[in-house]
Structure 1
Amino acid sequence: MKPAAVRRPSRWPGYAKSVAATVIPPLVMVVLLGLLWEILCSGAGATLPAPSRIWADSKDLILDPFFVAGPQDIGLGWRVLVSLQRVAVGFGLAAVAGIALGAVVGQSVWAMRGLDPIFQVLRTVPPLAWLPIALAAFRDSNPSAIFVIFITAIWPIIINTAVGIRNIPQDYRNVAQVLRLNPLEFFWKIMLPSAAPYIFTGLRIGIGLSWLAIVAAEMLTGGVGIGFFIWDAWNSSRLPDIIVALVYIGLVGFVLDRLVAGIGSFVTRGTQAS
């Protein structure tokens, strides 16, 4: 008689519980806030549209985000993609330059003394204050918007990378000396892995600032991005469209943050910056 096979407990119940615990509370809060919003804004004297009016007036934007009815008459999905293209270029450049400069500042005492005060001053300049300088230099709205993203995102990347480099344990540096690693090998094999948690902290801050900056910059530079859509809707008194666009912006910002956080957790294997 064959022994009965031992059945392993399924992981799905535990996984389903975890998903439910993560998803259900926010959904319940959204429903409750939506009901409260509907009650407060359904009166005759309400200045903001209720959710029911937003659905009635902006249903097409919600159900069909990728429609194309003309060069400027496109869905919010396409507008978000245009803005994301600019963010990808500006943030990518900021990541490369920020990590490189942060490594120099973190590794060299003289570079830190010379550059850190300059970085601390420049990082306090509001993003939109750079826009006139960018427009004067590039004479085009698209590279100007990309520059604003770059100059906004680079500072937290530089600062966090420098902190991570300075916090590399001395034992690691001693190992590099014993192995006689050249500067490039030391950078790739010691500096980057050790400072990765700090670098990804800077990248998470940077991607959030990039998304904030592009929406604000597009309001002034025009084009077909999500920021200009909000400004155009305001000039046309289309408040429901503005609220729908704000939801899009918030969801995309959340996804970008989770994406960078997920990549950082995978690369650093869950190690947190101390």
Structure 2
Amino acid sequence: MRGLDPIFQVLRTVPPLAWLPLSLAAFREAQPSAIFVIFITSVWPIIINTAVGVRNVPQDYRNVAAVIRLRGPAFFWKIVLPAAAPYIFTGLRIGIGLSWLAIVAAEMLIGGVGIGFFVWDAWNSSNLSDIIVALVYVGLVGFALDRIVALAGRIATRGTQES
């Protein structure tokens, strides 16, 4: 954690859309570049929350694993993953929200298709009612995605995760 955390913190603080020119240069196409921007936006809260979850595995769990000589993959699957799962799903919920934000922003800049392009096109056409409808749509889809991930988290963690 001490070695990787500074790297994660530096990369995490780079604004997502600042990655767009580099991804366009690397991929030379709009769609893979947008996907990369979405990925780079959403991956940091997932990684950081997962690391916190793994670091916060209760010592009692580790002691029980030592007593029953649980090691390697069995220790990971039976102790670490279940204990870290609430943190992982919290990171996923944050990541989903950020990725939805990045989708809209990337589509505004790249153009062509999508809700971001629709909002930008409506702005250029001075059609504020379409923008309001799009914003409500974005909010509702974001809410639905959050609820889906929260439900998956409750199922995966057997209800131990807060909603």
TM-score, normalised to structure 2's length? 0.93
- Structure 1's unaligned 5+ residue stretches are 1-111
CA deviations on 1:49-99 (whole Å, 9 max, x unpaired) are xxxxxxxxxxxxxxxxxxxxxxxxxxxxxxxxxxxxxxxxxxxxxxxxxxx
CA distance, structure 2, for counterparts of residue 184 and residue 132 of structure 1? 40
1:267 to 151, 156, 161: 156
Q: Distance in 1 between matches of 2:106 and 2:75?
A: 39
Match of 2:141 in 1: 252
Structure 2 counterpart of 1:163: 52
2:41 maps to 1:149: no
The CA deviation at 1:213 is 0.5
Match of 2:90 among 173, 198, 201: 201
How big is the alpha-carbon RMSD for the aligned residues of Structure 1 and Structure 2? 1.4
Q: Deviations over 1:129-180 (max 9, x none)?
A: 1111111110111111111111111111111111111111122222323333
2:28 aligned with 1:139, yes or no?
yes
Contact 2:49 2:90 in 1 (8 A): yes
User: Quick check: 2:57–2:84 contact (8 Å CA) kept in 1?
Assistant: yes
% identical aligned pairs: 81
Quick check: 1:213 aligned with 2:97?
Answer: no
The answer to whether the 8 Å contact 2:53/2:84 transfers is yes
Structure 2 residues without counterparts, runs of 5 or longer: none
Equivalent-residue separation in structure 2 for 1:211 and 1:202 (angstroms) = 14
Aligned AA for 2:12?
Answer: R
Letter matched to residue 122 of structure 1: L
Q: Distance in 2 between matches of 1:147 and 1:179?
A: 43
Partner of 2:14: 125
Q: Does 1:177 align with 2:66?
A: yes
Q: CA deviation at 1:255?
A: 0.5
Question: Aligned partner of 1:246: which letter?
Answer: L
Say which one has the larger Rg: 1
> For residue 89 of structure 2, what is the amino acid of its counterpart?
F
In structure 2, the residue matched to 1:7 is: none
Deviation at 1:208, TM superposition (A): 0.3
